[in-house]
Amino acid sequence: MCSYKTGASQAELQRALDWACGVGGVDCSVIERHGDCYEPDTLVSHASFAFNAYYQTNGNNLIACYFGGTASLTKINPSYGKCSYDVSKSEVSAARSLSEYKPRWLRLLFIGVALFFCRGS
């Protein structure tokens, strides 16, 4: 599970939440008014939901639970009532070393550069 990190400022949490629900591609409709996870209507609650959704969608990679230092891993499942936080079948990957993970764009960049130089040979 990925949740907000204690000590993160409200401004940092809001920026991270905006990113997760925008560029990050998280479906944040459940934390909008009348959504199953809207209550409690707090930044911490909404950010935690979005952070965890992004983390689960991106294969439980440690880097997917960073959000500029505003998030961290937790074993506590904050699901309640109709509000269900996604939980992977195996959170083993959460224990892996951060060095094992490279963002997809970095791998694609490497492949693109390799193909570019291979064509020139």
Blockwise average pLDDT, block size 10, the chain, 121 residues: 95 97 96 96 96 94 95 90 77 42 57 64 48
Residue 73 maps to a domain: yes
Residue 43 maps to a domain: yes
pLDDT at 52: 96
With CA atoms as reference, report the closest residue to 4 among 37, 51, 39, 40: 51
pLDDT at 87: 80
Q: Which tokens in the block code for residue 31?
A: 């934390």
Residue 114 maps to a domain: no
The domain total for the chain is: 1
- CA–CA gap between residue 18 and residue 36 (Å, rounded): 19
Residue 83 maps to a domain: yes
- 3-class state of residue 33 by DSSP: coil
Residue 104 maps to a domain: no
With CA atoms as reference, report the closest residue to 74 among 102, 59, 89, 55: 55
Residue 79 maps to a domain: yes
Give the domain extent around 87.
Answer: 2-96
Residue 64 maps to a domain: yes
pTM above 0.95, yes or no: no
